[in-house]
A = this chain, B = another copy of it.
Amino acid sequence: MITTSRLQTLLNQQGNETPVHAIVRALSSDGSLSMAELQGATSLAKSTVSTALSELRRSGIVVAAEQREKESGVPGRRPTAFTLNPEAGTCVGVHLELDGVRICIADAAHTIIDEQFIALGLDYAPEHAIQSTLTGAAALYRNNGLTLERLLGVGVSVSGPVTPQGFVHKSSILPAWSGTNVRELFANAFRKPVFADNESNCAATAELMWGAAKDHKDFLLFKIDLGVGGAVVIDGKVIVGAAGGAGEIGHMSIERNGRLCRCGNRGCLEIEASLLEPTRQLSEVHGRPLVIEDVLLLAEQGDSGANRMIEDCAEAAGRGLAAMAAMINPPLVILSGKAALAGERFLRPFQQAFERNALVRSRDVPTENATIIRIGDFTLNDSLLGAVGLVLRSIGSMKTQHMHAL
């Protein structure tokens, strides 16, 4: 049986990259790849890939992928493809939610093995969350006949800006975490490499690795729930920014003297484009407390107020998108969050408002230069999947400096 330490030794080896390294790196980033795809990903000759692959299969590091049914949102594998041996290592994904932590474990072959939500109540303390995550992860491993020894790393998705070093500066949703170093806290508990990013950035990582952006290097993720978030991906990398504040598109002010936002500014996109105001106003009109799902259901049932409110949000979102497009002119925009559940009901007015307000209008440019807007593949669990993705994507670059960075 292949051990985690053998894979780690291979990954941490310094010096020139051999074909064996290149193949391990490609598989750790992409999950499963066919011979032809491996040639493309490594830019190596067919014979070189073939020789190195034989060596890797002999030593049990790489295995032929079985055809399986889709599991936990991660697409099923294709036939005649290869993956890292799932027994070679695992990783833990953590999503710090409003009232608890969601944990999952996945193997090196990109399969989600198990998942669990641990309720902690509002404003939970970091220590509490970390202890619960450790206990919860240990239980998930035990229940699946695995041990934490095989853990390659932990990925954490945070509802707020995180610097690349793991510092949480300010978090309106998780105030107790402000000023902490989330990578350091988890690394102290797990004694393994820890990666952390904002939840929308994690969502973008998931779409990039397995979802709607799989074949793209540049896109904008636009996430609309009770709040509005996003991520900017350039050349295959999620932009983090000087202080981890990149992608906070909900806090672009699009109305100088607009209403006060929770961030302290006025006229933020979030105020007009989030589903908070529809939920509030419809609750008022219907005389009972509604949640987003109720609003979506009402709209589907033909309630004209619900439809109007969704259209108005979509219109504001499209206008905001046009402002963003003036800056980065993205080839692809992925709509995520619960607004995506409204499908065409949201997408149509969103696209129309974008087209009306954009500097580069689709009708003025050849099709290949137009911005495509589509709904993401992992609307509801993209942040957790992306947390796992942070680790899997990093396996290939987990050189010694990263292993000891924290």
Residues of A participating in the B interface, judged by any CB pair closer than 8 Å:
161, 163, 167, 169-170, 218, 230, 232, 234-235, 237, 239-256, 263, 265, 319, 322-331, 357, 359-360, 364-366, 369-371
Contact = CB atoms under 8 A, between A and B. Distances in A.
B246 A364 contact: no
A84 B234 CA distance: 32
A140 to B, nearest CB: 35
Most buried by B among A230, A243, A324, A327: A327
This chain: copies in complex: 2
Which are the 10 A-B pairs with shortest beta-carbon distances?
A241-B329, A245-B329, A243-B369, A242-B331, A245-B360, A252-B323, A246-B329, A251-B359, A252-B326, A251-B326
A320 to B, nearest CB: 9
A223 B179 CA distance: 35
20 contacts: A167-B369, A169-B360, A235-B235, A235-B237, A241-B325, A241-B328, A241-B329, A243-B365, A243-B369, A243-B370, A245-B326, A245-B360, A246-B329, A248-B329, A248-B359, A248-B360, A250-B326, A254-B256, A255-B255, A263-B359
Given A169-B364, A329-B241, A371-B242, A253 B253 contact: no
B360 A322 contact: no
A322 B246 CA distance: 12
B329 A364 contact: no
A327 B230 CA distance: 8
B169 A245 contact: no
A232 B369 contact: no
A364 B359 CA distance: 34
Nearest to A237: B235
A255 B252 contact: no
A230 B163 CA distance: 25
A357 B248 CA distance: 13
A326 B229 CA distance: 10
Contacts of A240: 329
A79 to B, nearest CB: 34
B359 A242 contact: no
A232 B360 CA distance: 17
A240 B167 CA distance: 31
A319 B234 contact: no
Contacts of A239: 234, 328-329
A258 to B, nearest CB: 9
Contact of A323 (B242, B254, B369): B254
A329 B255 contact: no
Given A242-B360, A242-B370, A249-B326, 15 more contacts: A161-B360, A218-B242, A235-B237, A240-B329, A241-B328, A241-B330, A242-B365, A243-B329, A248-B359, A253-B322, A253-B323, A254-B254, A255-B256, A324-B327, A328-B328
Given A242-B370, A360-B161, A370-B243, A327 B249 contact: yes
B244 A329 contact: yes
Nearest to A170: B364
